Structure 1
Amino acid sequence: MTYFHAAIPLWIWIPLGAWTVAWHASLQHEVIHGHPTANRALNRWIGCWPLLLWLPYESYRISHLLHHRDERLTDPLDDPESHYWTQEQWDRLGRFHAWAIRANSTFLGRMTIGPARAMSTFLTREARAVWHGEPMHRRIWTSHALQLLVVLAWLVLVCDLNPLVYFAAIVYPATALMLVRSFAEHRAENEVEERTAIVENAPVFGLLFLYNNLHVVHHDNPMMPWYEIPAWYRANRERVIRENGGLVYDGYWDVARRYFITEHDTLIHPYGRAPVQG
């Protein structure tokens, strides 16, 4: 997609390039959970390359593993992938920031301004940590900078591709595709089992997301490889849906139809924090 970019029409190049980079992000998710080989060093080498430019693999790995403390799912403070807020956090927001967050909680907003907000929020937080001399963050960004140089050398020196064009045409829409998956994955509920959604009948996006559309399966069995998820789900579907309280969508068109300009859920966590299960 990058080497032959000058020979490929834009209407083909942009969606296929964005799809490929988003697919690599799904592969990175598999790497975090111990795949595709038994060799951790090889897996890390496969997953570390920053095709998205802005997201260091190691930051993603640490954040995502924290997200897998299922008893803290959706918690505004403990779950790094939560889109909920405490009342205290919300009260401190400015008017424009609050508007952007509300827009971002709709499907349309997540696909349009969502990537910009995800990037800016993440990079601001990381820049603050690096500025304050936090050793882990400095190590991560030093490694990321070296890997990023390799990617940029490929784009500029080998492919003669403007990195700004790559970012606008490939990285931004690829990030939007990633956000399709995470948009309705979790919902604040009292019971832990009812906090994770299922999106059925998604053959195309299911392959793009390596079947994490069946997200309950991944949280029940986080080490299960992607290609085993559909069969396991079919064999356990009735029990899984009963346990997750019927939080099931009929494909991503169903998600988009329900929440295109409607907020996915209340932005302030309905329990303040994720309830502790006894």
Structure 2
Amino acid sequence: MSHYLDAAQRLDIERLSQNFTGRTEWPTWLLLIGVQIAWFGLLLGSSWLGVWPTTLLLIPLVTLWMSVQHELLHGHPTRWDALNKVLGYAPYAVWYPYTLYRDSHLTHHRDEDLTLPGVDPESRYLDQANWRHSPTLLRALLWLNKTVLGRLLIGAPLALLGLASSELQRLRQGDRQAWTMWLTHGSLTVLMLLFIERYSVLSAWHYLLLVSVPGLSLAMLRSFYEHRPHANPEQRTVINEAAWPWTWLFLNLNLHLVHHDLPSLPWYRLPQVYRARREQWLSRSGHFHIQGYSQLVRQHGLRPVDSPAHPFAEGARP
């Protein structure tokens, strides 16, 4: 639990973990089961729904599945990492094996390294040296990726290119863990795509290109401006007071500073803990505060939110 919390806050959060909901984690179990029933139901019923209605319903469901995987890697609904891994390994979102997502995301939670390129695996910045030597086309793409429209259009392809580059390097180097992970994930993905081909009106290519990639793009709206470079690590993480359906789709991770300060707090507790001391959270964030994703669309739909070059990371690892 975060060291800056006072005794009363710690006691309040401890009480939440000891009641029936906290002990059983039934909201997460219900969500976990519900998403999987919905996924199979949509595909098995796709001949009745039709290709495009099925597609449009599957895209946010895949995004929601990624949010569920995020809960699993943070220790919900069980405290057993191995069991959570089994529960979250289904490759509905295709591109990121659960193990890879878990390990990189937990590294991202070292708040003192947030946004630092080459250190924070979820950084969207280049250090000064790499920025100066980047080709013009790459710079243009990175500037575009700093707009909401660009993020939705090219954010996923850029992320997948980066993933392919780093993981192919690991595979070429003979990294045993990488080979085991990708063979397992690849086998499950092939089985999933065969199921889609056999029992739905969608083709495997349709699912890959028109469901999983848009699902990843939608998830990238959440991470569009979750973090900013700042001298104080606690002021690098946003409070986004988003409304439904985004809070549901992203499982309240819009309250991102609360999550980073209390990463073991389950998704359904984040709003309650935030509302109890809203002004304190806003002050802690340095008033890095956004009033919903509509504000980001209005202000940064076509205008970059900040520079792709990190303002003070000169010598970070490339």
Give the TM interval when normalised to the shorter protein. Answer: over 0.9
Alpha-carbon separation, structure 2, partners of 1:138 and 1:10: 35
**What displacement does 1:198 show?**
1.1
Alpha-carbon separation, structure 2, partners of 1:273 and 1:202: 37
Match of 1:33 in 2: 74
TM-score by length of 2: 0.83
Alpha-carbon separation, structure 1, partners of 2:278 and 2:248: 19
Q: 1:195-214 residue pairs with structure 2 within 5 A?
A: 195-214=236-255
Answer with 1 or 2: which has the greater Rg.
2
1:128 aligns with 2:169: yes
- Return the letter of the residue paired with 1:66: T
Match of residue 162, structure 1, among 178, 182, 203: 203
Comparing 147-156 with 202-211, which one deviates more in the overlay? 147-156
1:13 aligns with 2:70: no
Q: 1:113-140 deviations in whole A, cap 9, x for unaligned?
A: 1111111211122112111212221121
Aligned partner of residue 43 in structure 2, secondary structure: coil
1:108 aligns with 2:144: no
Match of residue 225, structure 2, among 180, 184, 196: 184
**What displacement does 1:10 show?**
4.7
Q: 1:213-269 deviations in whole A, cap 9, x for unaligned?
A: 000110010010101111000002110101111111111101111111111112111
- Return the letter of the residue paired with 2:264: M
Alpha-carbon separation, structure 2, partners of 1:93 and 1:103: 15
Aligned partner of residue 183 in structure 1, secondary structure: coil
Alpha-carbon separation, structure 2, partners of 1:15 and 1:242: 39
Quickly say closer, same or farther: Cα 1:33–1:221, change in 2 above 3 A. same
Alpha-carbon separation, structure 2, partners of 1:163 and 1:120: 20
Alpha-carbon separation, structure 2, partners of 1:255 and 1:151: 36
Match of 1:171 in 2: 212
Alpha-carbon separation, structure 2, partners of 1:97 and 1:120: 12
Quickly say closer, same or farther: Cα 1:130–1:139, change in 2 above 3 A. same
Comparing 150-159 with 199-208, which one deviates more in the overlay? 150-159
**What displacement does 1:11 show?**
4.9
Match of residue 110, structure 2, among 40, 57, 69: 69
Percent identity between matched residues is: 35
Alpha-carbon separation, structure 2, partners of 1:273 and 1:59: 27
CA contact (8 A) 2:238 2:288 kept: yes
Alpha-carbon separation, structure 2, partners of 1:36 and 1:15: 28
Alpha-carbon separation, structure 2, partners of 1:166 and 1:148: 11
**What displacement does 1:9 show?**
4.0
Q: 1:46-67 deviations in whole A, cap 9, x for unaligned?
A: 2111112121111111110110
Alpha-carbon separation, structure 2, partners of 1:264 and 1:133: 39
1:248 aligns with 2:297: no
List alignment gaps of at least 5 residues for structure 2: 1-41
Alpha-carbon separation, structure 2, partners of 1:37 and 1:264: 38
Match of 1:4 in 2: 45
Alpha-carbon separation, structure 1, partners of 2:44 and 2:157: 26
Match of 2:91 in 1: 50
Alpha-carbon separation, structure 1, partners of 2:242 and 2:144: 27
CA contact (8 A) 1:202 1:213 kept: no
- Return the letter of the residue paired with 2:215: A
Alpha-carbon separation, structure 2, partners of 1:155 and 1:233: 41
TM-score by length of 1: 0.94
Quickly say closer, same or farther: Cα 1:83–1:206, change in 2 above 3 A. same
Alpha-carbon separation, structure 2, partners of 1:111 and 1:266: 18
Match of 2:192 in 1: 151
**What displacement does 1:168 show?**
2.5
List alignment gaps of at least 5 residues for structure 1: none
